[in-house]
Amino acid sequence: MNTQVFSGSANGRIAAPPEPRVVFTTASEWQEASEHILVMACTDPRFQIARKEFIEGHFGLTRYDSLVLPGGPATILYTSILSAIMRMSVRELNKHHNFTRAIAFAHYDCLIYRLRFPRLTAAERRERQFADLRVFKTEIRRVVPGIQADTFYAEPAGGRIQFLSVE
């Protein structure tokens, strides 16, 4: 049997990898403390900057846990194939981060809702998202008892993005 071992050098010794090098240092300072807030949102890049601006401007938050997945808060609902995994993930995070509030975002023209509900009109999908956000409030409280839940819907308006509170 002929076995060869990659040695990385001519003398048969494994060469040490080069030391990692710094390629960027942030202007923001390291903060050890957390705000004990969970944010659940969809991955759609059209809303990322506006969502961050809203969270900072409306709530004054900068150090929160983000669960950003296609469909966002809908992933925790029992109608989602990710439901069990998301519930387990949120419970595990909560053990270490002690969430006091969950902030959830749905948005206009969500691909997940277009794929799941192709026969609904845009207006009907929007209403479905509102209904799912309301169910999210109930479900997140089952996963993290006592948590405060805020739900929002983001949509374009006059060349900007507005956030609607969904009660």
The predicted model scores a pTM of 0.86
For residue 140, count CB atoms less than 10 angstroms from its CB and return exposed for 0-12, middle for 13-18, buried for 19 or more: buried
CATH class of 37-165: alpha beta
Measured over the CA atoms of residue 84, residue 85, residue 88 and residue 89, the dihedral's sign is: negative
What are the tens digits of pLDDT across the range 91-124?
A: 999 999 999 999 999 999 999 999 999 999 999 9
What are the tens digits of pLDDT across the range 46-83?
A: 999 999 999 999 999 999 999 999 999 999 998 888 89
pLDDT band at 32 (very low <50, low <70, confident <90, very high): confident
Per the listing, tokens 């959830």 go with 104
| Residues 82-88, mean pLDDT to the nearest whole number | 94
- Measured distance CA(97)–CA(6) in Å, rounded: 44
pLDDT at position 150, please?
98
Residues of the chain above pLDDT 70, percent = 93
- Measured distance CA(96)–CA(84) in Å, rounded: 19
